[in-house]
Protein backbone atom coordinates (compact mmCIF):
# COMPACT_ATOMS: atom_id res chain seq x y z
CA UNK A 1 0.00 0.00 0.00
CA UNK A 2 1.37 3.38 -1.01
CA UNK A 3 0.32 6.82 0.19
CA UNK A 4 1.68 9.72 -1.88
CA UNK A 5 4.40 7.39 -3.16
CA UNK A 6 5.36 6.19 0.32
CA UNK A 7 5.40 2.48 1.15
CA UNK A 8 3.20 2.50 4.23
CA UNK A 9 3.88 -1.17 4.99
CA UNK A 10 7.57 -0.31 5.31
CA UNK A 11 6.75 2.58 7.63
CA UNK A 12 4.39 0.52 9.78
CA UNK A 13 6.23 -2.81 9.88
CA UNK A 14 9.88 -2.53 8.91
CA UNK A 15 10.91 0.94 10.04
CA UNK A 16 10.13 0.34 13.75
CA UNK A 17 12.16 -2.87 13.59
CA UNK A 18 15.06 -1.05 11.93
CA UNK A 19 14.96 1.65 14.61
CA UNK A 20 14.93 -1.02 17.32
CA UNK A 21 17.94 -2.73 15.69
CA UNK A 22 19.81 0.57 15.52
CA UNK A 23 19.08 1.21 19.19
CA UNK A 24 20.20 -2.33 20.11
CA UNK A 25 23.51 -1.80 18.31
CA UNK A 26 23.99 1.56 20.02
CA UNK A 27 23.12 -0.04 23.35
CA UNK A 28 25.69 -2.82 23.06
CA UNK A 29 28.40 -0.40 21.94
CA UNK A 30 27.71 2.05 24.76
CA UNK A 31 27.43 -0.74 27.34
CA UNK A 32 30.72 -2.28 26.25
CA UNK A 33 32.51 1.08 26.35
CA UNK A 34 31.05 1.86 29.76
CA UNK A 35 32.30 -1.34 31.40
CA UNK A 36 35.55 -1.46 29.44
CA UNK A 37 36.69 1.58 31.42
CA UNK A 38 36.89 -0.50 34.61
CA UNK A 39 40.10 -2.51 34.90
CA UNK A 40 39.64 -6.12 36.03
CA UNK A 41 40.94 -6.85 39.52
CA UNK A 42 43.32 -9.64 38.50
CA UNK A 43 44.49 -7.91 35.33
CA UNK A 44 43.25 -10.74 33.09
CA UNK A 45 42.95 -9.88 29.38
CA UNK A 46 40.43 -11.15 26.90
CA UNK A 47 43.11 -13.40 25.43
CA UNK A 48 43.92 -14.81 28.88
CA UNK A 49 40.26 -15.60 29.51
CA UNK A 50 39.71 -17.27 26.14
CA UNK A 51 42.87 -19.38 26.47
CA UNK A 52 41.99 -20.50 29.99
CA UNK A 53 38.44 -21.49 29.03
CA UNK A 54 39.57 -23.33 25.91
CA UNK A 55 42.26 -25.23 27.82
CA UNK A 56 39.85 -26.20 30.59
CA UNK A 57 37.56 -27.71 27.95
CA UNK A 58 40.28 -29.69 26.18
CA UNK A 59 40.57 -27.22 23.32
CA UNK A 60 44.12 -26.04 23.85
CA UNK A 61 44.77 -26.54 20.14
CA UNK A 62 42.30 -23.78 19.16
CA UNK A 63 44.16 -20.70 18.00
CA UNK A 64 43.47 -17.20 19.28
CA UNK A 65 43.85 -14.63 16.53
CA UNK A 66 43.15 -10.94 16.16
CA UNK A 67 40.76 -8.94 14.03
CA UNK A 68 40.51 -5.20 13.50
CA UNK A 69 37.70 -3.10 14.92
CA UNK A 70 35.52 -3.03 18.02
CA UNK A 71 33.21 -5.92 18.91
CA UNK A 72 34.12 -7.74 15.70
CA UNK A 73 35.03 -10.81 17.76
CA UNK A 74 34.06 -14.18 16.28
CA UNK A 75 34.97 -17.84 16.14
CA UNK A 76 36.03 -19.17 12.72
CA UNK A 77 35.32 -22.93 12.55
CA UNK A 78 37.22 -23.35 9.27
CA UNK A 79 40.53 -22.23 10.76
CA UNK A 80 39.54 -23.27 14.30
CA UNK A 81 40.40 -19.81 15.57
CA UNK A 82 38.86 -17.52 18.15
CA UNK A 83 39.41 -14.07 16.64
CA UNK A 84 39.39 -11.28 19.20
CA UNK A 85 39.02 -7.63 18.25
CA UNK A 86 41.34 -4.80 19.15
CA UNK A 87 38.93 -3.79 21.90
CA UNK A 88 39.00 -7.26 23.48
CA UNK A 89 42.28 -9.06 22.83
CA UNK A 90 44.63 -7.21 25.20
CA UNK A 91 42.06 -5.28 27.22
CA UNK A 92 42.09 -5.90 30.97
CA UNK A 93 38.45 -5.42 31.93
CA UNK A 94 35.33 -7.45 32.62
CA UNK A 95 33.70 -6.43 29.33
CA UNK A 96 36.58 -7.87 27.32
CA UNK A 97 36.70 -11.01 29.45
CA UNK A 98 32.97 -11.56 28.95
CA UNK A 99 33.14 -11.15 25.18
CA UNK A 100 36.18 -13.44 24.92
CA UNK A 101 34.45 -16.05 27.06
CA UNK A 102 31.42 -15.88 24.76
CA UNK A 103 33.57 -16.56 21.69
CA UNK A 104 35.31 -19.42 23.46
CA UNK A 105 31.81 -20.74 24.10
CA UNK A 106 31.25 -20.95 20.34
CA UNK A 107 34.41 -23.04 19.95
CA UNK A 108 33.09 -25.39 22.64
CA UNK A 109 29.74 -25.61 20.83
CA UNK A 110 31.45 -26.81 17.66
CA UNK A 111 33.62 -29.26 19.57
CA UNK A 112 30.56 -30.75 21.30
CA UNK A 113 28.46 -30.84 18.13
CA UNK A 114 25.82 -28.46 19.50
CA UNK A 115 22.86 -29.02 17.15
CA UNK A 116 21.70 -25.42 16.53
CA UNK A 117 25.19 -24.31 15.51
CA UNK A 118 25.48 -27.30 13.16
CA UNK A 119 22.16 -26.32 11.56
CA UNK A 120 23.24 -22.69 11.22
CA UNK A 121 26.53 -23.66 9.63
CA UNK A 122 24.79 -26.02 7.21
CA UNK A 123 22.35 -23.41 5.89
CA UNK A 124 24.89 -20.61 5.37
CA UNK A 125 25.27 -21.36 1.61
CA UNK A 126 21.50 -21.44 1.12
CA UNK A 127 21.16 -18.24 3.14
CA UNK A 128 23.64 -16.43 0.92
CA UNK A 129 21.78 -17.54 -2.22
CA UNK A 130 18.41 -16.69 -0.74
CA UNK A 131 19.45 -13.22 0.40
CA UNK A 132 20.80 -12.33 -3.03
CA UNK A 133 17.91 -13.69 -5.10
CA UNK A 134 14.84 -13.19 -2.93
CA UNK A 135 14.20 -9.48 -3.50
CA UNK A 136 14.86 -9.51 -7.29
CA UNK A 137 12.41 -12.41 -7.65
CA UNK A 138 9.75 -10.72 -5.54
CA UNK A 139 10.12 -7.44 -7.46
CA UNK A 140 10.05 -9.22 -10.82
CA UNK A 141 6.98 -11.18 -9.76
CA UNK A 142 5.17 -8.00 -8.73
CA UNK A 143 6.13 -6.10 -11.89
CA UNK A 144 5.06 -8.87 -14.25
CA UNK A 145 2.11 -10.06 -12.11
CA UNK A 146 3.79 -13.44 -11.81
CA UNK A 147 2.74 -14.40 -8.31
CA UNK A 148 4.45 -17.79 -8.34
CA UNK A 149 7.80 -16.12 -8.97
CA UNK A 150 7.19 -13.67 -6.14
CA UNK A 151 6.32 -16.55 -3.82
CA UNK A 152 9.60 -18.26 -4.68
CA UNK A 153 11.33 -15.04 -3.66
CA UNK A 154 9.46 -15.03 -0.36
CA UNK A 155 10.44 -18.64 0.31
CA UNK A 156 14.09 -17.79 -0.38
CA UNK A 157 13.84 -14.82 1.98
CA UNK A 158 12.42 -17.22 4.54
CA UNK A 159 15.78 -18.99 4.64
CA UNK A 160 17.34 -15.79 5.94
CA UNK A 161 14.62 -15.52 8.56
CA UNK A 162 15.24 -19.12 9.61
CA UNK A 163 18.97 -18.39 9.85
CA UNK A 164 18.28 -15.51 12.23
CA UNK A 165 15.93 -17.73 14.23
CA UNK A 166 18.53 -20.48 14.62
CA UNK A 167 21.12 -17.89 15.57
CA UNK A 168 19.24 -17.00 18.77
CA UNK A 169 19.80 -20.28 20.67
CA UNK A 170 23.39 -20.37 19.39
CA UNK A 171 24.21 -16.94 20.81
CA UNK A 172 22.18 -17.35 24.00
CA UNK A 173 23.82 -20.70 24.70
CA UNK A 174 27.32 -19.29 24.13
CA UNK A 175 26.60 -16.52 26.62
CA UNK A 176 25.20 -18.98 29.17
CA UNK A 177 28.35 -21.07 28.81
CA UNK A 178 30.48 -17.96 29.27
CA UNK A 179 28.63 -16.86 32.41
CA UNK A 180 28.76 -20.36 33.91
CA UNK A 181 32.53 -20.56 33.41
CA UNK A 182 33.10 -17.05 34.73
CA UNK A 183 30.98 -17.74 37.82
CA UNK A 184 32.96 -20.82 38.75
CA UNK A 185 36.45 -19.79 37.72
CA UNK A 186 37.13 -16.77 39.89
CA UNK A 187 38.34 -14.84 36.84
CA UNK A 188 36.13 -11.94 37.86
CA UNK A 189 34.89 -10.46 41.10
CA UNK A 190 31.17 -10.25 41.79
CA UNK A 191 31.19 -6.71 40.40
CA UNK A 192 33.18 -7.76 37.35
CA UNK A 193 30.79 -10.67 36.74
CA UNK A 194 27.87 -8.24 36.90
CA UNK A 195 29.57 -6.03 34.32
CA UNK A 196 30.27 -8.95 31.99
CA UNK A 197 26.65 -10.11 32.19
CA UNK A 198 25.46 -6.62 31.29
CA UNK A 199 27.60 -6.64 28.14
CA UNK A 200 26.48 -10.13 27.12
CA UNK A 201 22.80 -9.27 27.61
CA UNK A 202 23.19 -6.15 25.49
CA UNK A 203 24.90 -8.18 22.77
CA UNK A 204 22.13 -10.79 22.82
CA UNK A 205 19.57 -8.06 22.18
CA UNK A 206 21.16 -7.30 18.79
CA UNK A 207 20.34 -10.83 17.61
CA UNK A 208 16.75 -10.47 18.76
CA UNK A 209 16.58 -7.21 16.82
CA UNK A 210 18.02 -8.85 13.68
CA UNK A 211 15.32 -11.52 13.81
CA UNK A 212 12.65 -8.86 14.33
CA UNK A 213 13.83 -6.96 11.24
CA UNK A 214 13.86 -10.13 9.15
CA UNK A 215 10.36 -11.13 10.28
CA UNK A 216 8.90 -7.70 9.57
CA UNK A 217 10.51 -7.61 6.13
CA UNK A 218 9.06 -11.01 5.31
CA UNK A 219 5.61 -10.00 6.58
CA UNK A 220 5.76 -6.91 4.37
CA UNK A 221 6.63 -9.01 1.32
CA UNK A 222 3.79 -11.45 2.02
CA UNK A 223 1.29 -8.57 2.35
CA UNK A 224 2.55 -6.89 -0.83
CA UNK A 225 2.31 -10.07 -2.89
CA UNK A 226 -1.12 -11.02 -1.53
CA UNK A 227 -2.37 -7.47 -2.02
CA UNK A 228 -1.17 -7.53 -5.62
CA UNK A 229 -2.99 -10.82 -6.17
CA UNK A 230 -6.29 -9.41 -4.90
CA UNK A 231 -5.98 -6.43 -7.25
CA UNK A 232 -5.44 -8.84 -10.12
As annotated, the active-site residues are: 103
What is the rounded CA–CA span in Å between residue 96 and residue 101? 8
Strand order from edge to edge, sheet including 63-67: 63-67, 81-85, 74-76
Q: Is 87 exposed, middle or buried (0-12, 13-18, 19+ CB in 10 A)?
A: buried
State how far the Cα of 65 lies from the Cα of 107, in Å rounded to an integer. 13
Using CA atoms, how far apart are residues 75 and 165, in angstroms rounded to an integer? 19
61 phi, psi to nearest 5 deg: -80, -15
C-alpha distances out from residue 61 to 74, 81, 196, Å: 17, 9, 26
Nearest CA to 83 out of 60, 101, 65, 104 is that of 65
Give me the helices (H) in the chain, please: 8-9, 15-35, 46-56, 94-112, 115-143, 147-185, 190-231
Amino acid sequence: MYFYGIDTYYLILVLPAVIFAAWAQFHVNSTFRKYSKKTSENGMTGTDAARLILTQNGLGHVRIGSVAGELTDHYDPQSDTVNLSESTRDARNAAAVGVAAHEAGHAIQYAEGYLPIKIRQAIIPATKIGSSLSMPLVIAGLIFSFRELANVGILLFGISVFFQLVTLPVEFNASRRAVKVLEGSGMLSDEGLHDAKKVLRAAALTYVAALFVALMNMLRLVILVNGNRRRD
